[in-house]
Each structure stands twice: as structure tokens, then as C-alpha cells.
Amino acid sequence: MRTEAHPGAVLKKGTIAVDARMIEASGIGTCVAQWLPRLIAARPDLDFALLGPALVLRDLPWTHGSNVRVIGLDAPIYSLREQISLLHCIPRGAD
């Protein structure tokens, strides 16, 4: 796992940014927690930038791969702070 100090860095082609802030919530969080590790394992050719609660994400064993970066993001969903934070946290060049 890599923790990105400067999330605005330009990334190589094939980087997927995933908003994982609700990974501990029921509903969508359960879905994300189930499919995200499978997607990461199935696509070692892609890099993944996971945005969300850094301490929670770092505790998950599947975030320790060389193709995974955790970017701390704690902005509440549907907020003005979310809109501003996402602009700064999503790495340039990510899909």
C-alpha cells in the first residue's frame, strides 16, 4: 500500500480512483467492501487510488498491494466541502 502525500500528482495511464468513504456503512458500503477487493485482485495491471478514511482503509489487508494507494478523505457526502475536497484529492489522470 502506498499513501499519497501529494494526491494531485499525475498518474500513469490505467489508474482508477474510487470513493470509498462509505466502506463501513450498510447498503452501498457493503457493496463496495465486497467488490473492491475482487476488482483490485482481478486487475493487477491497473493502479487504484482509494479515497476515504485512511485509518480504516489501511487496516484492510487488500489495500496493501503495490497497485493500491490510500488517499485520506473525510469530507461528508453531499456537502460543499466534499466538492472542494474531491477536486484536490482525485489524482490527475485518474479515471
Residue linked to cell 494507494: 69
Over residues 71-88, the pLDDT tens digits come to 999 999 999 999 999 999
pTM: 0.82
Task: Report whether pLDDT(11) > 80.
Answer: no
Distance CA 82, CA 74 (A): 8
The DSSP-derived string for 3-19 is E-S-TTS---SSEEEEE
Over residues 59-70, the pLDDT tens digits come to 999 999 999 999
* Angle, vertex CA 11, rays to CA 7 and CA 15, nearest 5: 100
